[in-house]
Structure formats: C-alpha cells, structure tokens
Structure 1
Amino acid sequence: MLRRASSVRSDGLDAYFDAEGGDVVDVHDWKCVRTINGVRIFEDVANSKSGKGVLVKAVGVIDASADTVFEVILSPDRVKRYEWDTLTGDLELVDSVNGHFDVVYGTFDPRYLTWRHSKRDFVFSRQWFRGQDGTYTILQVPAVHKKRPSRSGYKRTKINPSTWEISNLSSSSSNSARCLVTQTLEINNKGWLKWRNNNHCPKFEKTVPYALLSQVAGVKEYIGANPGILEDSTTSFYLKVRELSRSDSEFEDTDETDEFYDAIAASSSSDEEESETDIEFDEEKKLQIKSISRDPESSSPPEDSAPDSNIELDSDEPAMDLDPSQFHGSMRRAKDEADKNCWSSLDGSGFMIRGKTYLKDSTKVKGGEPLLRLIAVDWLKAEDSLSNVALHPKSLVQSELGQKLPFVLVINLQLPARPNYSLVLYYAADRPVKQDSMLSKFVDGTDTFRDSRFKLIPSIVEGYWMVKRAVGTKACLLGKAVTCKYLRQDNFLEIDVDIGSSSVARSVVGLVLGYVTSLVVDLAIVIEAKEEAELPEYVLGTVRLDRVSPDSAEQLDA
C-alpha cells in the first residue's frame, strides 16, 4: 500500500506510462529549485499556493541497497549519526509499539544550527513500512510522551513533519546496489519563498527545515565514505526495537495504536514560539492539499485499456438494467461533487494498469470504464469483525432484486478499530460471467489463485499530505499483504479482507481513520494479469469515498 517517489511531469500525463512510477495519476508538479551536494531540492509548485504551507523534497541516489539506507536512517547510534546528521544526531529510543513505529527523544545545540541561544530538545514518532516492491516509507511526526516532559534548561521545539521513501533501483551490475532516497517535508510558506526567490535569507540555512533537507546529502556522503557499512547486518535495529516493544506503551493516550495517532497528530499544549523569523514550521496548522479533479473527457483512456465485456461476460444472455437507484446500502450515494459522507462511482482513467506489451516493456496504460458496476455501499460497525456479510438477511445480495442479479462481487474491507468497521462494496454484472474468461477463473478458482491476482490500487485524492504518503499510489496484491477469505455461493463471490491481519496494514488504516472525515479516497480493483494472453488488464471496479464519518456507520448484529 506504499508508493515510490513521485514521477516528475510538467507537461501532463501521456496515455502510456512506465512501471517505475505509481499506479495513480500524480497531481503534484515537482520543480527542482536547488542542488545541494549532489542532491536535488524540489518544490511542489502545483500546490504551493494553498497558503497553509509548501511541500519540498530532497532527492538523491545512494550507492547502497534500500535495506542499508533504511538501517542508517533509523539507527539511533550516536557515533554513526554524528557523521551525517546535523540535527538529530543525539537520539534516544524512548518507546516502541508493534515493531513498526517508535518514539525518540533528541537534543541539539543551537551553536551548530540556529541563531537562537537556548538549547533545544524535541520528541517525534517514527512509523515505517516496507512495500511489496521492497520500498521503505518512514513517517516522522512531532509527538508527546510521558517519559519525556519539558526539560530544565531546554526549549521544547517541534521537528517538521516529514517522510522518507527509499526505493531500490535496477542496476546493470548485480554487484552494485543503488537506491533512490527521497525526503519530503512541510515548510512554512513565507520562510521557504524568501529562501527560494532570492539569496538574501541566509538565516534559512540555519533552520530545522534546511537541516532536514540536508540529511539526504549527509546519508549519501556517509555511506560513500564508509564502504564497510554495506556488509553490516541490516537487522540489528529491528531486533532492538522488537525487544523494546510492549503492550503497556506510555504515550499520552495509552490505548495503543488508534489513539496513538490521535496523540501525535494533536497540537501540543505548550506555548511554542510561533515564529522563528517566520521561517520555522507553523505547527498549529495541518496541510490539506486540494488535488486536481479527474476529468474523464480531458484524459480519455486508450482503447486497449477498456474491458471487452463480451469476453468476460456471456454475450448470449440479455443484459439486465443496473439502475443504482433501485439498490440501497447504508451509505448514501453522492448527490453532487460537494456532498460529504457518501460514495460515488468513477471511471478508471485515474489509474494505471498493465498494457498489452507490459511483459516486454513494463508499459502501463490508463484504465477504462470498469467491467462491473458499483450499485451500493454498506458502512457497518460491530463489536466483532463482520464476515460473510452477503449471507446476512439485511444484505443487498439477499434482497429480492439482489437475488435476480446475474453476478455480484462483494468486497468486505474489515477495518480494525473500536468498534470494528466494515466497508462493503457491491459490484454487479449485467450478464452472467462467461466460462473460461479471466473473471471466471478468478471467481471460481482456488483461494491460492485468487490471492495471487486480487489487486487493489489506492489513491488519496484530497487530504493531509502525510496520509497520502502513507497510503501511497502503488498497487497492492491484497491476498499477499493481508488475510483474505472467499465465499462463493449462488450468484455472488464475497471477499473478506482482514486488514488487522497485518500490523503494517493496521497501522496505515489507523492513520487513515484519524483523518477520514477530511479525506477523499479513490479505490480501483483489478485482477492482475501475469501472462501474455491475459493482457491488457482492465479495471474490475472503482469507488470514490468522500469524507466518510465513522459515526454514520450502521450497527449490524451478527
């Protein structure tokens, strides 16, 4: 569910797109504004006029594997960090939860960084994931912890929210590992523009944001100067973290993962200095970037990305009228673009899928109209996780009209929380599934086959940038990432996706739920094509979820 670094395209997206980028059309427009020590500094100019802040990133290629770079960045070893990190060299591991996120405490001396006289200390959390393609993502956010209250003689400051993305690069030499390292952070707009537009703001180069942007260059030089580090084990920090992991975490909100996110996202009650010459980050505001809406007419997909329904569905049978107004779920269908707490259907042009020649050149194309039609969405909650929803008497599938549908694909995304939530998507075919088609092999195949082909592509269209980074834009084989259970009966196939079966997926969903009322989320379902005869892929179904309210979920008794 994670993403690689965004591809830079200033001239719009062509219909064809290579596989190294994400699987969603990117709405950022990254422009290189500086080069520091061989590392490029980019600004997101497409969203820089939001008035709330600006996203910038440092990008560099490092001659080491992603595993090695990940270990260097996460390790709190003071001796090693002193060689590359000008800001967070003095780190102490305070707490860890589930081996995927921790809290660290640090200090820095203003003599080496800022023009301020008081010593500074800080607390921030680090949460990390490893994607199915081997890409690491690290989220760093200011935090509060009971073990580290304000310290006498130090001024408590906050480190800018930032992310690391570490992706392996293919190399012609099997003995030469290389990776692309990207650090993205949010900076106060006023201070950044002063530094970008002229050279009369030397104070910026003594700030926390500048020190963060310099970390990629620091890691690059450190690894280049210490070739022996490439032979070190990359599991040492993992082992230390797992030894410290425990259930009795001492965060301000000790109710484990879900509340943990609320705690670190909330602003501190301490009286922070709002402005260090208007350059430091404005901690009291959250950045929400308005993404560009997808207009199907302005970006029509190529013909070979549209599914041929006659191949997948039985053309000898008459098509049934699938009028969504005839079907009802517990979540409302959107009335217009401004509607909230609702769902809508969309075409697949915002998603990238495998084209006819993918096995030869890894080319992806824009998706076309989905093969199946989204007719209803249920937003449910219960004390225990909900399974086999299609068998429930209140389910759409069990209704008189639902039983007449030729085929229904029921996707039950089980979201672990208190209470447990289920997002149930009902996709219908207007004709029966054709024998020996790709869809038929999936619907009536083995669970092993389904696990190897069931693919989800996520996209946060609107919302806090840190959540976008966590969710990413890369397709995920759900059957390989989490536990999926399949129920094939009558005219339907239900897929129960247990998000809680993976601690990584659970962490991502916990973060999403903390911001869900301000998010617009697009999802696409695809059956992955692995053989020449199965190409091109097609979009099986899509959905847009607009600012969903957890409180609106309908209680469903087992």
Structure 2
Amino acid sequence: MSYQNNNNQGFPKKHWRLHQCQNGLRIFEELVEVDYLPRSCGRAMKAVGVVEATCEEVFQLVMRMDGTRFEWDSSFQDGRLVEEVDGHTAILYHRLQLDWYPMLVWPRDLCYVRYWRRNDDGSYVVLFRSRDHENCGPQPGYVRAHVESGGFNISPLKSRNGRPRTQVQHLMQIDLKGWGVGYIPAFQQHCLVHLLNSVAGMREWFTQTDERSALPRIPVMVNMTSASISANKAKHNESNVQPAPSLQTNASGRNSVMMDEDSDEDEEFQEQEEYSTGLEGEFKKEAMEEEAAEEIDLSCFSGNLPHVDRDNARDCWTISDGNNFRVRSKHFCYDKSKIPAGKHLMDLVAVDWFKDTKRIDHVARRKGCAAQ
C-alpha cells in the first residue's frame, strides 16, 4: 500500500527510546535520523501495554466509535463515519477532547482514513492518516489537526493463569496546528501522551468488565465450528456402530472442512480443530458423496454473463479447478503444510456484470439483489 510506503519514507530508521512510564504503560519516543522536522510536528511516540483480552476483543473495541469509547478513551469527544470505502478502509471524522488549558486553546478535530488488516498469526494492524474529504470540511470552532501517521498494533501473547493476553501498541505522530500553542513543545507532548493513555483506559475497561463478548467477524463460522466438534466427538465415542450418515452429520463434515480452509481463524479455533483431525478425511468423503447425489435445478438462476468452460473464451465466466488453490492441511499446526483445495463446497450458478460511468459501491445491499 502507498500508505505503508509513505510511513517508511517518513521514518527512515525506526529506533525507539523509553520516554516515561505512566499508568502501567511504557511510552517511547522515536529517534529519527533526519536533518529537519517541522516545528509544529513533534516526534512520533508510542505506548505499549498488555491487555487481558483476546486480539479480536481489543480490535472490536478499537473500531467502535459509539458511546462505549467514552468509557476507555478520555481524548474522545465525538466521531462519525464519513465514507466506507471498502471492508478494510473508511474515512472518519473525530473530535478530540484535550485537557491542556481548554479555556484558552481551541479544540481540535481530525478527518482521517482508517485501514485495518488481520495477519496470519491472529494479530491486527490498524493504520491512521489524515485525509481531506468533500463531506468533511473544516468545522466552525475547531482547529483541524493533521495525523502524520498513527494506529494500533494488536498482537497475541501467551495466556497466563488461563486468561488471554494481548500486547497493544498505539503509535501516533500528529501536528495539532494552530498559530500559537501549536509551536509550544509542552503542548504537543502533553496532548500526545494524553492520546496514548487510551491504552491504559482500554486495559482497565477489560479488567472491570465481567461479561463481554466480541462479535466474531463471521458469526456463522463460529456456529459451524461448534457443530462440527460436537459431531466429531459423538462419532469418536461410538464403538463398532456405523449408522447411516445423515444430513446433519454431513453438514458438520462440510463445516469442518470450511474451518480448515479459513486462513484467518484465531489460535483457539486451531486448538478446536485437533478434535476432528482424525476423522476429517472421512467426513469430507461422505460430504462429497452426498453432494454428488443431490440434484438442484439451476435453470431458476440466470445472469447477463454467459457460462463457458473454454479457457480461451472472452466475456464469460467459468469455475476454476479447486486444485489450483492450496489450503491448510490438518497437520498445519505442526508442520505448516498445505494441500490442494480439492472439490469446492459451493457452486457458482450465475454472474451479473454491471457497467457504469462511476464507481458502484455495495451492490449486494441494493434492493432486489439476490443476496438479500
């Protein structure tokens, strides 16, 4: 991404020095080997802390811009979604609640692009950078600050006493602007530390919340995992009894395969898959046999793009061979091995090709779409 490239250009060599310890956080200041930094733009700083929660829970909390944020982020005054670019990128408007002589200093607000991604190890990266937007112009009574770079790095740690632990790094380099106090180093540093202290508020929020459940990214997959594990355990306990496979058993087998194909599930899901590694091949075989026996009338589905099986055809669609893709094997947790995907679990029945002079967003949300 260009965003990451810009970050690398802004910080040619990343060396950090411990600036202070506050509220159980280690706050670092970046040592940048450059000849010049703008007076109003201080050095980048980051706060590092440990939160007793899963990476998924921390990520869900960071992404929320509702009233829950008032309970852990003291620098948050208000915020809203300006534009949702795609599933990983959005434009946000954010008003800051700074406590540095509020009677004399004008409040600050931000308009920035937020991008997130999930890594294979279960960690999350959330990136911020200021962006101008036509629907988010300067607001009366506020000074528009500028985020040079910032974000969260959410990484899993080994659990302790049965409790999940996550390392949260919050990095920020911001230009608070302003014709006067924006050039005072004490103002810049105080406000920046105030922003970074949200990690401590996050830690205390999880500590003092008894019942919490972060919404999974794909709730259906969680239910499928539970059903698959229950079916595998039940079949494992049977002795010399082989009943005829039912629809429910075969559906569970399909779900087990789906979980094995998902490259983004957390470590807890990988531990659950150990129950089904011995019987996964048998379930998959039964599912394929039953699927071959089912007959579905595909004539009720139609699209404006024809279906052609030839590789050299144009303006058409076809289904690729599943062996062209590699997925995690049942021994992936031990040797990181991958195997050909094999037969697909679902069939593509029709394709619609949309053309327009401008970009089309959220096609599946439109009224009358088959996905509804």
Report the TM-score, using the length of structure 1 for normalisation. Answer: 0.33
- Which protein has the bigger helix share? 2
Report the TM-score, using the length of structure 2 for normalisation. Answer: 0.48
Compare relative contact order (CA 8 Å, sep 6+) and give the higher one, 1 or 2: 1
Q: Rg bigger for which structure? A: 2
